[in-house]
Amino acid sequence: MNREIQIVVVCIISFLMVSGVIVGILTLSSENPFTSTDPNHSLSWSVSVNDTLTYDMLYLTADIYGDSIEEEWESPNNISQQITAKIINLPQIPAHLDARSFVDDIYLSPKVSVIFSNASEFTSYQRSEIASCISKSIFPIGDWEFLDEIFGNPLEFTTPGGQYPNRYIYGGTIANSTFFEFDDTWRQQSSGHGSYRHSQWNVLEIERGISHSIKYFWIFSHVAGYQHGYAFTLLP
């Protein structure tokens, strides 16, 4: 009988010791400054919902041959006007980011509605395209070194796209103490060996996280091709 009691006591003590170790591990994990619950960046928004941004915008087009975007551009009928973008949404910034999640959760998130001085000059698709351009030109600030690190080697990936996959490339770098440059390209091969592509270049103010200038091009190239684009310049 005494031996049975001893065995029970030993089992109880062992259980308590194991429980104590588990509690200790959990406590240390909650206090550990390097756990996965801590942010891996210090990004935050410097702009607010309802802020407005005003741009001079020039609509550009060009006939092209091959795949070059270095051809001569012109503005048909001198289509140029001021547009005002009102910030209507700023996505929550996840505590943990990498290049892909920054693109998906921050960069591609719709952020603005756009007021045109003469909206009739553009189709509804073009107006949506312009709003997307400006949405993609608003960044959180406070950790440009982090963005420089995760986009220093461009992010490249593909997604299904019907007959041919979509190819995406995103890259960014600190240009100097004033500006951060970010660009993205989408490309899809088409039947007949032509291709579709769009590209956007942002020159962002490090202090505010908004683009000083934006250039966007949409291109279809084959034996002959067509492209259109927009050039935006931020006004004071």
- DSSP annotation of 166: E
Amino acid at 103: V
Task: Report yes or no: 154 and 175 within 8 Å, Cβ to Cβ.
Answer: no
Q: How far apart are CA 17 and CA 43, in angstroms?
A: 43
User: Over the stretch 40-74, which tens digit does the pLDDT of each residue have?
Assistant: 999 999 999 999 999 999 888 765 544 444 445 55
Residue 27: enclosing H or E segment and its boundaries? Answer: helix 2-31
Q: How far apart are CA 89 and CA 103, in angstroms?
A: 16
What's this model's pTM, rounded to 2 decimal places?
0.79
User: Over the stretch 170-208, which tens digit does the pLDDT of each residue have?
Assistant: 999 999 999 999 999 998 876 556 678 889 999 999 999
DSSP states along 78-102 = G-EEEEEEEE---PPPPSS--HHHH
